[in-house]
Structure 1
Amino acid sequence: MYKDFFELLDLERPKLHKVREAVIAGNHTLAAIEFIEYMRNRSVPVFYEGWDNRKINRSYDTAEADKVCKRHIVHVDVGDDIDWKMDPHHDPEWKYCLNRHEFLTVLGRAYWYTGNEKYTAAFKELLVDWITKNPLPDVDWMLKIPSAQSRGYFMKEGNWRPISAGIRLYTAWCPCYYHFLNSPEFTPEFNIKMLLSMVDHARYLRRYYTRHVDYFHVSPNWGLMESNGLAHMGILFPEFKEAEDWRNTALSRFEEQTRMQILPDGVHVERCSGYHLVCTFCILQITELALRNGFRVSQTWLNGLEKMIDYVLYLMKPHGVYPMLSDGDESDVIGERASYGLWEDINNLNMLEDSNDLRYVLKAGARLFNRPDMLYAATLGKQGQKPAKQSAAFPYGGFYVSRSGWKNDDYYMSINCGPLGVYDQECVHGHADALSIDVSAFGKTLIIDPGRYMYEGPFRIWFKGTAAHNTVVVDGKDQSQLADGWKFKTMAVPTKRVWCTTDNFDYFDGSHNGYERLNEPVTHRRRVLAVKGQYWVLVDDLVGEGKHKLELYYHFPENAKINIDDRTAKAIARYNDDVCLSILSCDNHKSDMNVYEGSENPIRGWVSYDYAVKMPAPELCRSLETEMPARFTTILVPFKGNQPGIVCEWIEENTLQIKRDGKIEVLILSGGSGKRMHYGDFEFDGECIFAQMSADGHLTRCFSAGSSYISYKKEVILDSHGGMKIENCEKKL
């Protein structure tokens, strides 16, 4: 073993002269001793922030590490003779998590802060057991067969899936090497045994690389995580002859991946909030490691990374919570860790400065790009500078975020109007959630995307389906038809028609064609007006042929209590801390309203904040069966204390009148023809007008989207010469 190992080293490096002399003398035992002393005393390369300044903390909580010492790993008693291919939960993700070795990093942190050698002993036993039972497989045959067969091996069979090998290195093995290196129990022999297996990992990742579209035909985040593991080996272990090749190859792959996987607006190509955060962390981590050690990354790489963090910044809710859109778990910037899934949980455990992925991404972005607004979000306004804008659009990703501000109580809504994901990879992490929303106010999530739960079983189908999202279901079918728990056989194509934003109002107009596949086709169009800090108006139009069953869903967190008043067509959601949400129906037709919670047959009313953890949570369903066209109109009003008095009605086909607090407000939706049209006292040529008036009809404020001309009672409010369209117009009169 010793001889084979030293042949891998570049013994001509000046500081390895003692190792070289011992090898030349044939004293490999001495060479192993000299090599570990060299590794313990070298000052470069530089690992992440904090690794050069170990601080003993005797009060560090070692409860989780103590469980690992007793072989309670990933919530299962695995026993002394571990079967590394076991699947006790009938979920391959558990096995994948077992073989990613996050639990080793738990031991590493316990040793780092306490110095207790029992954690070194447990680490050595577990790592040697894994290395012994999981030798590098012979997988040359995979390159010679159809991709569907090789994909099956990597997806379901091997503990050497390329993504798992990459994650093992950068999440567990590399940080653990630094955690335990100075332990007296980290012997020269064990040092070489561990490094030999790490070399196997690097060579394997060097050869088997999952590009965005490649023979494995899998999710594109694989390539980033594989390259991250290879980059760690190439940067942190320059003593190996192959290290320069590993490093250059990995950084080249990152350059390729950042161009392939980051959309022009910064959204990750899979369009999932969770995988966006994972990939942002992955790119950011290796960026910092490369720059700290003097290796260049391109400006294109950096520009894309900054845009990715921008998306994280604006998607995060005012109270510091990051939503779980498509396959994702809820994260927040408050806790020690961003999320707490039972498994399938790739947490940031090799950043000693902060083990919260979300907070680390924002803080690192702040220092890397000199962005005090990112620091503001990471610290919930305690440091940094408030972002310059409130609302934001990410048109390539298909996400639109409306907010009234950046304080804890401010109002927030995200709207999904983008593709399912990577179409040529069958959108495996996408959900059938076109035009769905996520809402918060007063420091709480009020309407929620329920999450993903698990990647196997009937609940997987429900969490991916349209009925598990805050949008309209037609005839009980999903907008995009699932082929199985991963792939789609039909894919709805959303279209953003209008997005505009001002200080006091936001307006969105979008549609999708998912139900145009029906024998009697239907198109769903959703228009949203945000009266910032006060309420939202949602207008859902279903246009098509024939008679259909329509269901409009709203999902709530598990602590919400829903009360329905059939007489007023209103539902009230009540949360903790006296926070409430009024859900008011403004339609002329009568629809049924029902609440479901925690039903298993059929599956209805659940939420999952972390992988493999679900809990009952209320869902509100408004339903009716009617001829097309049809419309659902909803006003969402957050409040605390007394319930606001709001009355609304359609006084004309496209004119909604809202009365509240002695004032009259009117929302007028045009056909979008671009021609001047008369609607009551208004004449305009835009997409919509929202007007606020006193009780006597005096116009006090007017907002319009896409207008070049507006008049009220024949008084001109806006006249753009030459017919030029104004994207948005807001005037206080």
Structure 2
Amino acid sequence: MQPDTLLARETLFTGEALGRQAAVTGAGRTADVDGRRLLAVRTRGTVTIAPPRRDLEPFNVLAVHLKLAAPFEGSMSTRMEHTTRSPGMETNDSRVSVLHFNQPRRWTGWQRILLPAENLVAIGFPDRWAHVKSITFDVHSRSDCGEVIFGDVELLQVARPAGPRMTDAELLEALDLDRPDLRRVAAHARAGRVDRAVAALAGVIRRTRRPGRMGRGANPHYAATTAEALCRHYIQEQQLPAAIDWHVNPIGYLEWNHAFNRHGWMTTLADAFFATDSAARKRKYAGKLDYFIRSWCEQNPEPIGHNGGLDPAWETLSTSIRINWAWEHVLAVAAASDAVADRTLIDMAKMIHAHAEHLLRYWGHCNWYISESAAILTCGVLVPQFRRASDWLAAGIRRLSREMTVQVFPDGAQYELSPGYHTMCAQLLYQAYTRAAFAGRDFPAAYTRRLWRMHDYLATLARPDGTYPVPNDAGCTLSAGNPRLAAVGRAEKRPDWLWAGTAGKEGRPPSAGSIHFPDAGYAVQRSGWDRDARWAFIDMAEFGAAHQHEDKLHVSLHAHGTTFLVDPGISSYQHDPVVEHFRTTCAHNTLTIDTLGQVRRRSGDYARYSRSSRGRNLWAAGEGLDFAQGTYDEPYGRAGGTHVLEGPAHTRALVFVRPDYWLILDSVTGRGTHTVEALWHFAPMLVRADAKAATLRTVRLTHANLELLCRGGWEGGTVSVVTGRERPSVQGFVALDGEIKPAPCGIASVTAALPLHGVTVAVPFATGTESHVRAAAEPVSGGRGAGLLVTVERPGGITDRFLWRHTGSGALAADGLRADGRLAAVRTSEDGTVTWAALMDGASLRAGATTLKGAPGRLVERHA
């Protein structure tokens, strides 16, 4: 293996100086360690220090000496802040990297952590290692019990060799020369004819049979391009020079460079190669792939002694995605064209070996671990001639079988609770399943059963128009279809998955109606799958294992072909105030108290974040009514803030009165007087507030509309609309089409003594400028309970009455209706005849001559 060459070394800080001069947040102390007085920091804590000079050139590696007081699962982020600020940025230019402490057996004694320049990825446009203002080390653990001891911090100047590091002789030694397909290679190698052995190996690699191409293609965040544009080096909407620099970052956004180095965009060239009948174009596209791969290998020798940090080339997620979804396409082209040179194939083989071993040595969490494990397995399929190929296959199967039970709930939801990352994991787990089968290996039957549930989950989440809800970091709102789900639907002959994956263009709709995912804590209420159907989503989930938003009890609504109430989604991972806003309660359709939002992240309780919600929520679905209820009973505060409000708890029930409208029943319990705001985020459209009628209404001439009638506790306050506000606080934006776009946020606000009980009647209507629905809510009390009588009068003389018991127990009675359930409903026609009655979580209901007997936790109904 070709090593790095050390050119210079300098101590930037001694451990003692770091302890004296650094600014520390969290629990820091000076400890006697190995005869030295050194800084020890408990997680979560930060250590920030200004270097003695601001120009750290020509050094290109930061070496940090660390010791863990005891092994723990956690990580350290490193941030080098510069004094410069690029135009359009809200923060100074910086460089960041991440190191995981997830191999406890290796973390004994002192560790010399290497942070090369390529690992410290740029945010903005910092000038190399010049103008450095400060360096911050942020350490945290998954159990809040770790302690890190800091020693010296060094600067190194290192020269890296051109990649790959593996020599030709080492490549031959890594092969299983007893394989029949390597007979000629073995003969040359054993005779010492290395060049001829390598040339023979290139032919074997070119002819090796592999599974069909399954990669996901170019990153959908960037506009689709053509093979001809890629040949001109127009890549991911940026024009690059003739000589590619794989660490270029033309827009100052770290995810651009990660996507660039993941090589998904190369699949466009491969697709064009196989689509054209022109021999000249085939040679052109294959030759360009040859150049891209060869230059990438040359500029990116594999890491030695470190995990790759956030280096776009060797961050473990990027490493795995390149193998899972891109390089198989290049190898397929090479099998059909000698324009991909033998030497390029040899370099690819060396790098595939490096990819597998790197991912076995270092790994991340959650979807990263699934991607890394799938890539290890895939390496064994792409180049089965390596002696380690069988080990890679076994390791991938073992790891993924375990993760299928750890990360995927019995209801099929992946525990990050993001449909976007769920889709990614489902595709990786499916690809591993098919690639293992190709190699003659099998996964356990339990793995396959849960794999199909993952795809059922995706199909039954979809809105009638084929778009998806986007809780947590799930991409932009209103994204239609799911090509990965569609591909599996075609392969497995599942027309319901194909329908959801193609947004209804192919296949047939799923048969499922309203559905509750008890482990995920998500529920979907729907009237059907036709384009005019009504659909709602409620998030009653735990925080999720990663990519979380503070969004519990969020509700999204869709009707008559239009998504009205949305989760804003996430536009990017850029450091931007609006992007940070997207992760907060204020960006979701739930409640804030005294302008404070949910702060589950504050607890640091990773076990709770990722636990199942089974048994924690109420759910029932019937012919005339669906009921879903959850509670948020953790603190309120601000992200990163110190003020925390404890005591208030929010319970929300989403009631679908089939097939026409919803009741959203909110109870806030606690003590004292507080300002409570219900937030309603709309897709971009005109929304007006009618203060006198306490109503929010969309204004879409000749299109469907939605009214929100704010009743009960909301009637003592105000209703208003905010769109596209950045100061003094961010409000009124959504992520749409890869951009941040202004969108209206309706706000029902009231200042009152708790408890507060509010009713929002959500009425979609297909035509006209108003729904002509009238609603009222009056207090009701009796015995040990209290509630509201909600009356909804609709056109045609239809009246629905609901007894909602929000407090206590026992029966309530009002307006001829008596019931002891959590919710009772009665519908009367214009002449007063009861045509429908329902009881949720109660023993009995009486309305005139109509009676119902129920049971705890169950929904019972009667239709005339």
State TM-score, norm by structure 1. 0.84
> Tell me, what secondary structure is at the counterpart of 1:538?
strand
2:470 match: 324
CA distance in 2, matches of 1:693, 1:575: 31
1:395 match: 518
CA distance in 2, matches of 1:383, 1:78: 38
From 570, 587, 594, the equivalent of 1:475 is 594
State the 1:469 CA deviation. 0.4
1:631 match: 757
- Per-residue CA deviation, residues 587-636 of structure 1 (Å, 9 max, x unaligned), is 3634322222222223221111355x211212111222222222332111
- Per-residue CA deviation, residues 489-521 of structure 1 (Å, 9 max, x unaligned), is 998999954211012310122221134685573
CA distance in 2, matches of 1:47, 1:373: 24
CA distance in 1, matches of 2:343, 2:429: 34
CA distance in 2, matches of 1:129, 1:692: 72
Instruction: Indicate the RMSD between aligned Cα atoms, in angstroms.
Output: 3.1
Structure 1 residues 312, 443: closer, same or farther in 2, change over 3 A? same
1:592 paired with 2:711, answer no
Larger helix proportion of the pair: 1
1:241 paired with 2:387, answer yes
1:607 match: 734
Checking the alignment, whether the CA contact within 8 Å between 2:408 and 2:414 is kept in structure 1 is yes
State the 1:18 CA deviation. 3.5
Once the two structures are overlaid, the 10-residue window that deviates more, 658-667 or 570-579, is 570-579
State the 1:461 CA deviation. 1.9
Checking the alignment, whether the CA contact within 8 Å between 2:523 and 2:537 is kept in structure 1 is yes
From 484, 489, 507, the equivalent of 1:357 is 484
1:102 paired with 2:251, answer no
Checking the alignment, whether the CA contact within 8 Å between 2:411 and 2:517 is kept in structure 1 is yes
- Per-residue CA deviation, residues 156-207 of structure 1 (Å, 9 max, x unaligned), is 4563111111111112112221133322211222211221111111121122
2:669 match: 543
Checking the alignment, whether the CA contact within 8 Å between 2:823 and 2:840 is kept in structure 1 is yes
Checking the alignment, whether the CA contact within 8 Å between 1:707 and 1:729 is kept in structure 2 is no
1:444 paired with 2:609, answer no
2:378 match: 232
CA distance in 2, matches of 1:269, 1:610: 26
CA distance in 1, matches of 2:259, 2:701: 35
CA distance in 2, matches of 1:62, 1:618: 30
Task: List gaps (5 residues or longer) in structure 2.
Answer: 1-166, 217-222, 638-643, 781-787
State the 1:466 CA deviation. 0.6
CA distance in 1, matches of 2:595, 2:305: 45
1:164 match: 318
CA distance in 1, matches of 2:352, 2:228: 26
> Tell me, what secondary structure is at the counterpart of 2:840?
strand
- Per-residue CA deviation, residues 258-314 of structure 1 (Å, 9 max, x unaligned), is 111011221111112211111111111211222244321111211221221121111
State the 1:255 CA deviation. 0.7
1:220 paired with 2:346, answer no
1:650 paired with 2:777, answer yes
Aligned residue identity for 1:112: F
2:847 match: 712
From 542, 548, 552, the equivalent of 1:419 is 542
> Tell me, what secondary structure is at the counterpart of 1:539?
strand
Aligned residue identity for 1:686: G
Larger strand proportion of the pair: 2
CA distance in 1, matches of 2:605, 2:258: 20
> Tell me, what secondary structure is at the counterpart of 2:553?
coil
2:143 match: none
1:503 match: 623
CA distance in 1, matches of 2:598, 2:499: 38
> Tell me, what secondary structure is at the counterpart of 1:223?
helix
1:202 paired with 2:356, answer yes
Checking the alignment, whether the CA contact within 8 Å between 2:477 and 2:566 is kept in structure 1 is no
1:75 match: 237
CA distance in 2, matches of 1:598, 1:332: 18
- Per-residue CA deviation, residues 139-170 of structure 1 (Å, 9 max, x unaligned), is 26x7xxxxxxxxxx62x456311111111111
Checking the alignment, whether the CA contact within 8 Å between 2:544 and 2:610 is kept in structure 1 is no
1:697 match: 832
CA distance in 2, matches of 1:614, 1:317: 22
CA distance in 2, matches of 1:496, 1:483: 21
From 659, 666, 669, the equivalent of 2:801 is 666
From 16, 39, 51, the equivalent of 2:182 is 16
State the 1:62 CA deviation. 9.1
CA distance in 1, matches of 2:654, 2:664: 5
Structure 1 residues 372, 331: closer, same or farther in 2, change over 3 A? farther
2:114 match: none
1:640 paired with 2:766, answer yes
- Per-residue CA deviation, residues 219-252 of structure 1 (Å, 9 max, x unaligned), is 4111011111111111232122111011111111
CA distance in 1, matches of 2:722, 2:490: 40
CA distance in 2, matches of 1:632, 1:491: 28
Aligned residue identity for 1:240: F
Q: Where do 1:78-93 residues align within 5 Å?
A: 78-93=240-255
State the 1:401 CA deviation. 0.8
Structure 1 residues 88, 548: closer, same or farther in 2, change over 3 A? farther
Aligned residue identity for 1:578: H
Structure 1 residues 727, 475: closer, same or farther in 2, change over 3 A? same
1:464 match: 583
State the 1:657 CA deviation. 0.8
State the 1:409 CA deviation. 1.6
State TM-score, norm by structure 2. 0.72
Paired residues in the alignment total 668
- Per-residue CA deviation, residues 439-463 of structure 1 (Å, 9 max, x unaligned), is 1112221111001122223223200
CA distance in 2, matches of 1:70, 1:253: 41
CA distance in 2, matches of 1:334, 1:404: 20
Aligned residue identity for 2:592: V
Aligned residue identity for 2:776: E
Once the two structures are overlaid, the 10-residue window that deviates more, 646-655 or 67-76, is 67-76
> Tell me, what secondary structure is at the counterpart of 2:226?
helix
> Tell me, what secondary structure is at the counterpart of 2:597?
coil
Checking the alignment, whether the CA contact within 8 Å between 1:274 and 1:329 is kept in structure 2 is yes
State the 1:384 CA deviation. 5.0
> Tell me, what secondary structure is at the counterpart of 1:621?
strand
Task: List gaps (5 residues or longer) in structure 1.
Answer: 52-60, 143-152, 211-218, 339-355, 423-427
> Tell me, what secondary structure is at the counterpart of 1:99?
helix
Checking the alignment, whether the CA contact within 8 Å between 2:759 and 2:777 is kept in structure 1 is no
Structure 1 residues 575, 183: closer, same or farther in 2, change over 3 A? farther
Once the two structures are overlaid, the 10-residue window that deviates more, 646-655 or 408-417, is 646-655
CA distance in 2, matches of 1:463, 1:528: 23
> Tell me, what secondary structure is at the counterpart of 2:599?
coil
Larger Rg: 2
1:730 paired with 2:850, answer no
Checking the alignment, whether the CA contact within 8 Å between 2:702 and 2:767 is kept in structure 1 is no
Structure 1 residues 576, 398: closer, same or farther in 2, change over 3 A? farther
State the 1:577 CA deviation. 6.0
Checking the alignment, whether the CA contact within 8 Å between 2:835 and 2:863 is kept in structure 1 is yes
2:300 match: 134
- Per-residue CA deviation, residues 342-396 of structure 1 (Å, 9 max, x unaligned), is xxxxxxxxxxxxxx224224444x43xxx54334434556665543330111122
From 427, 443, 462, the equivalent of 1:297 is 443
Checking the alignment, whether the CA contact within 8 Å between 1:529 and 1:538 is kept in structure 2 is yes
1:526 paired with 2:652, answer yes
2:531 match: 408
Checking the alignment, whether the CA contact within 8 Å between 1:328 and 1:452 is kept in structure 2 is yes
Aligned residue identity for 1:466: T
> Tell me, what secondary structure is at the counterpart of 1:446?
strand
> Tell me, what secondary structure is at the counterpart of 2:692?
coil
Checking the alignment, whether the CA contact within 8 Å between 1:412 and 1:441 is kept in structure 2 is yes
